[in-house]
Amino acid sequence: AGLEAPSTGRVLLDGKAVTRPGPDRGMVFQSYTLFPWLTVAENIGFGLHEQGRPERERNEIVASYIDLVGLKGFESHWPKQLSGGMQQRTAIARALANDPEILLLDEPFGALDNQTRGLMQELLLGIWERRKKTVLFVTHDIEEAIFMASRVIVMSARPGRIKSDVPVDLPHPRHYTLKTSPEFSALKAQLTEDIRIEAMRTAQV
């Protein structure tokens, strides 16, 4: 990816140093990163194919994740035939099909319209509530962070440091109406103030 080795520090996953890409980490980007020459089913099964998993096993896993993300009937569609939300559902299914230890998402819903974004939030949260995977979700949307997370990490302005670590003790399963609750509003006010202070510091530089 063109990333240089860090000059200091290290990244650990379950106590083991991360030094290169690996199947224990799944990644979903903001841009749609599906292989355009592969169908939905082939995209989801790509990692399994690379691992040399038997065809029957691959097909069973792919079918289960197609059902999980609501893409039944679109198995043979090409990425260009899908909406943005459907492409991201495919990308999430592809990442999860490898059964990673942690799922990394870099603003995965940033390019979607507001209504689709809300639906995707509920979809991913529902998957988490069933599978309980560790998820690191990067977003600039405060409401999205609160709705999706068990804890919200706020980063400081340059240089980026952890400014606050806020637990989100809201019940599961979560419904979109939670966003209008007093508890949700209180968390939003707290995080908005934290981020506003950092934005003001940046503007004064």
pLDDT digits (tens, 9 = 90+) for 17-72: 888 888 888 999 888 789 999 999 999 999 999 999 999 999 999 999 999 999 99
**Which pTM value belongs to this model?**
0.85
H or E segment and range at residue 166? strand 162-167
Residue 89 pLDDT > 70 = yes
pLDDT confidence of 77, banded at 50, 70, 90?
A: very high
- Quote the pLDDT of residue 10: 85
Q: Say whether pLDDT at 2 is over 60.
A: no
Question: Which residues lie below 8 Å from residue 165, measured CB to CB, with a gap of 6+?
Answer: 151, 152, 153, 154
Per residue in 158-169, pLDDT (tens digit) is 778 899 999 999
Read off the amino acid at residue 89.
Answer: R
Opening angle at CA 135, ends 21 and 106, nearest 5: 65
- What radius of gyration, in Å, describes the C-alpha atoms of the chain? 19
Let me know: does 91 contact 34? Beta carbons within 8 Å: yes
Q: Are 151 and 167 in contact (CB under 8 A)?
A: yes
Average of per-residue pLDDT values in the chain: 90
Edge-first strand listing for the sheet containing 25-28: 25-28, 102-106, 134-138
CB 136 within 8 A of CB 104: yes
CA distance 62 to 174: 27
Main-chain phi, psi angles of 65, to 5 degrees: -80, -30
Q: Does position 1 have pLDDT exceeding 60, yes or no?
A: no
